[in-house]
Amino acid sequence: MTEKIYEYRDEKNWFIGTWAGFNYFTCFGDDQVFEAVQKDFHHLLDQLQESGLQIHVVSYQSRFRLLSFLIQIIKDKTQRPLELRQQAGATLVVEGDKLVAVYLPEKGLPLTDFFGQTVETASDLGDSILIATKNEGKTKEFRQFFAQLGYKVENLNAYPDLPDVAETGLTFEENARLKAETIAELTGKMVLADDSGLKVDVLGGMPGVWSARFSGPDATDASNNAKLLHELAMVFEQKDRSAQFHCTLVMAAPGAQSLVVEADWEGYIATAPQGENGFGYDPLFLVGESGKTSAELSLEEKNKISHRAKALEKLVEAFPSWQEELAKQS
């Protein structure tokens, strides 16, 4: 059976194509023309995950005409509802209500031309992750980590009207899930919650999930540290003051299965506060056998070895697969 031959021709452009068993193109013209056609041809087919398009470019000037020709053949052979749109100098490939490919001018576009006045600088651009905390110290740590994934980070201080989520769980995961999943449903955003705490072996794992409230409902970092020192007042040997900082992270999105990771950071409890950095129990937590507390580390040092750093490493590893599943559900 003879394959259908497609052709487009005007004064500046001449394309011939067919549909066969694999993608292939040939092109008359100089290296610049060849590279332009090759880039657009393969980008479109990669984005659409189609194979079988074969074209010959006799002459070329218009990217839009070439893309229109390619889309025409793909639509005819696959019945996919593909359309081309032009916006502010960019060419968009749309399938139904989804944007599947974007072609920008060679020199790019001003952000305000493409997105309107809602995006004025690069810092306004991109998706954000809402961290379910009002703690600016935690937020700073998360912000540094998620920058490597291209995400902005915001916290609950930007959402003063959201109700407080009671941490009524009996485990770190239960509390983290409560925060992440409740806030994700209320805001429609991707939300990361952590439940972190200090587990002291000689105290049977206390203060554990009650770390933030160890000294009572009006607890402060200072009062919690004072109570911990009081509880360990008769424990003199460092080996008997072993402890772990624990972190459970839960990433949630509306209607999706949450991603859960956890990690521990081994150490000991000092006999007196040391250091000015960090927050919470950092001034009392001796890092391994180093003799330094967490509060004596810089943020950069802490972010390489802490319980939250270890959990985030696991999260960063699992996050792309979770994102892919999320995209399939949208």
On whether both 91 and 165 belong to a single domain, the answer is: no
pLDDT given at position 55: 94
Residue by residue, DSSP assigns 45-79 as: HHHHT---EEEEEEE---HHHHHHHHHHHHHHHH-
On whether both 223 and 265 belong to a single domain, the answer is: yes
Tell me the backbone φ, ψ of residue 290, rounded to 5 degrees: -75, -25
End-of-domain residue from the set 64, 83, 110 = 110
On whether both 129 and 83 belong to a single domain, the answer is: no
pLDDT given at position 330: 62
CA-based nearest residue to 324, from 248, 249, 253: 253
pLDDT given at position 326: 79
pLDDT given at position 125: 57
- CB contact set of 108 (below 8 Å; sequence gap of 6+): none
Question: In Å, how far are 33, 58, 62, 88, 230 from 105, measured between CA atoms?
Answer: 15, 23, 12, 10, 67
Question: Is residue 18 situated within a structural domain?
Answer: yes
- Give me the domain span that covers residue 47: 6-110
Average pLDDT per consecutive 10 residues, the chain (330 residues; last block may be shorter): 84 93 88 92 94 94 93 94 88 91 86 70 71 88 78 91 90 96 94 95 96 94 97 96 97 93 97 94 95 93 90 87 77
Contact status, residue 63 vs residue 46, Cβ threshold 8 Å: no
Q: What letter would DSSP give residue 207?
A: B
pLDDT given at position 119: 60
3-state secondary structure of 34: helix
End-of-domain residue from the set 84, 110, 136 = 110
Question: Is residue 118 situated within a structural domain?
Answer: no
* 3-state SS track over 220-262: CHHHHHHHHHHHCCCCCCHHHHEEEEEEEEEEECCCCCCEEEE
Question: Is residue 115 situated within a structural domain?
Answer: no
On whether both 145 and 81 belong to a single domain, the answer is: no
Measured between alpha carbons, how far is 197 from 173 in angstroms, rounded to an integer? 12
Q: Which entry of 195, 218, 240, 282 is annotated as an active-site residue?
A: 195
Instruction: Reply yes or no: is the peptide bond before residue 110 cis, omega within 30 of 0.
Output: no
Measured between alpha carbons, how far is 274 from 290 in angstroms, rounded to an integer? 13
Token pair for 292? 């330094």
Distance, CA of 196 to chain centre? 20
pLDDT given at position 127: 77
On whether both 33 and 178 belong to a single domain, the answer is: no
Q: Total domain count for the chain?
A: 2
Query: What's the pTM value of the predicted model, to 2 decimals?
Result: 0.67
Does residue 195 have an active-site annotation? yes
On whether both 24 and 128 belong to a single domain, the answer is: no
| CATH of residue 267 | 3.90.950.10
pLDDT given at position 105: 86
pLDDT given at position 42: 94
Which residues face 246 on adjacent strands?
Answer: 197, 264
Tell me the backbone φ, ψ of residue 237, rounded to 5 degrees: -85, 135
| Residue indicated by tokens 């607890």 | 219
| Residue indicated by tokens 């209320």 | 186
